[in-house]
Structure 1
Amino acid sequence: MARIHVLTPETATQAQKEIFDATRAKFGKHPLLMSAMTNSTAMMSSYLTLFQNLTEGRFSKQLARKIGLAIGEENGCEYCISLLAAVAKQQKLTDEDIELARHGKSSDAKEQALLDFVLLVVRYKGDLTDAEVDAVKAAGWSDEDIAEVFGHLILNFLTNYFWKVARTDIDFPVLRLFDQSKIVRGSNGKPAPTV
């Protein structure tokens, strides 16, 4: 059972209904996590704007999903990896691509350097060495690319951490974390519910 109220169109205010419509237009449905996020129209509206801006950004949709999968696995968000894997399959990523991304890996060397950078930022909370920043640049990523990574970090941290608090049901085909210890504290030892 979710720990933050999951809104429905019937329980939503007019402002929340407008967010529901905007979310459905972007995602084709209103995922349960986003239904809980819509308790704050300011936050959910900001999320949708950031999502749209990044969709029009420098990275392909496929690379954006790989970044999200790596972050979601690292941060322990079963909802997020389940949602992102479902979207990634629609965007023609293979099961192998998804599995690799969850491990922070890619068969493409340039993508690998970026995923390494992303996970270093997550693990060390941005406290990177000169060599670690130089490595991602040496792989061909620009300062603009590096700056845009932080938009993806914010977008994914928002959903990762929100789900870990809210614990909505997972309304996508469920993927379990490789390391269940990343969510055991908040789950009372039980796996996340599914629908």
Structure 2
Amino acid sequence: MARINVLTKEKATEEQKRIFAKTEAKFGKNPLIMSALTNSPATMNSYLALFQNLTDGRFSKQLARKIGLAIGEANGCEYCISLLAYIAKLQKLTPVDIELARGGKSVDPKETALLEFVLQLVQHKGDLTDTEVQAVKDAGWSDEDITEVFGHLTLNFMTNYFWKVARTDIDFPILRLFDQSKISRGGSHDFKQVV
């Protein structure tokens, strides 16, 4: 059972109903985590704005999903990796692409360098060495690319951490974390899949 109220249209304010309409237009439905995020219109509107800005950004949708999968796996968000894997498949990523991304890898060496950089940022809370920053540049990523990574970190940390507190049911096919210990502190798998 969710620990934060999952709003429904019937119980939403007019402002929240407008957000639901925006969410449905963007995602085709209101995922449960986003229905819970809509408890705070300011937070959900910020999420939607950042999501759109990054969609219009430098990275392909496929690479954005890979970045999200790597961050979600590292942060222990089973909801997020399940949602992103579902979307990634719609965007023609293969099961191999998805599995590799969760571990910070790709069949493309340039993407692998970026995903490894992302995981270093997560692991070291942004405190990277000159060598680690130079490695991503040497792989062909620009300062603009590196800077845009932080938008993806913000977007994914928001949903990763929020889900770990809210613990909404998972309304996508469940993808289990590689390391189940990353989910255990906040509670066991007492949520269920709702499709």
Normalising TM by the smaller chain, what interval? over 0.9
Corresponding position of 2:91: 91
1:184 partner amino acid: S
Corresponding position of 1:194: 193
Secondary structure at the residue paired with 2:87?
Answer: helix
Secondary structure at the residue paired with 1:185?
Answer: coil
Instruction: Provide the rounded CA distance (Å) in 2 between the counterparts of 1:179 and 1:129.
Output: 27
Q: With structure 2 as the length reference, what TM-score do the two structures score?
A: 0.98
| Preserved CA contact (<8 Å) 1:75 1:160 | yes
Give the 5 Å matches for 1:1-195.
1-187=1-187, 189-190=188-189, 192-195=191-194
Secondary structure at the residue paired with 1:160?
Answer: helix
Q: CA deviation at 1:103?
A: 1.1
Percent identity between matched residues is: 76
Q: CA deviation at 1:191?
A: 5.1
Q: With structure 1 as the length reference, what TM-score do the two structures score?
A: 0.98
Instruction: Provide the rounded CA distance (Å) in 1 between the counterparts of 2:190 and 2:132.
Output: 35
Instruction: Provide the rounded CA distance (Å) in 1 between the counterparts of 2:152 and 2:89.
Output: 19
Instruction: Provide the rounded CA distance (Å) in 1 between the counterparts of 2:44 and 2:92.
Output: 27
Q: CA deviation at 1:95?
A: 0.6
Show structure 2 runs of 5+ residues with no match: none
Q: CA deviation at 1:193?
A: 2.1
Secondary structure at the residue paired with 1:174?
Answer: coil
Instruction: Provide the rounded CA distance (Å) in 1 between the counterparts of 2:58 and 2:122.
Output: 20
| Preserved CA contact (<8 Å) 2:6 2:32 | yes
Instruction: Provide the rounded CA distance (Å) in 2 between the counterparts of 1:152 and 1:110.
Output: 18
| Preserved CA contact (<8 Å) 1:78 1:192 | no
Show structure 1 runs of 5+ residues with no match: none
